[in-house]
A = this chain, B = another copy of it.
């Protein structure tokens, strides 16, 4: 039977990120992460598959939340309205209390090419999952792909703005502004 450590997942996550920032991702061992919060390596592996998963384990949940929100949108919603609803729902994952963690995580990932590649793969996977979810609503394949990729474009830009120095608006506010901008930008197309 696995012993329950209250909050161990979060403590490990915070400790790992601080060590990655202080001494570099490559240089940090699982043993060091566990030790820094008074846990053993064995305990670490009950929470995360490896040190990379500390940075990425939440993204599977995020993808599922996006897909569920697409399915739950009102039947009459147009494709980008569905995406907008999904962005609004999933922005809950990124509350004010998570901004500092997200900033640090972004710093760690930006400094390490394999992590950056992993992040881009996750976003590509999210785009495909969104497109498939839109198709299940009856949206034609090409339009579904376009709406999904456009949604990821908005999410990517909004997220980078949300973690920018001095930004105080919530993620959903930034997303809303960008969707408004997108409408203006697209209307100018001939």
Contact = CB atoms under 8 A, between A and B. Distances in A.
Nearest to A150: B153
Contacts of A117: 117-118, 120-121
A23 to B, nearest CB: 25
Q: State the main secondary structure of chain A at its contact with B.
A: helix
A157 interface: yes
A49 interface: no
Interface residues of A, number: 39
Number of identical monomers bound together in the oligomeric complex: 2
A2 interface: no
A187 to B, nearest CB: 7
Contacts of A152: 149, 153
Given A117-B117, A189-B81, A153 B146 contact: yes
A186 interface: yes
A118 B113 CA distance: 10
A80 B149 contact: no
7 contacts: A78-B185, A79-B185, A84-B189, A116-B121, A146-B154, A180-B189, A183-B186
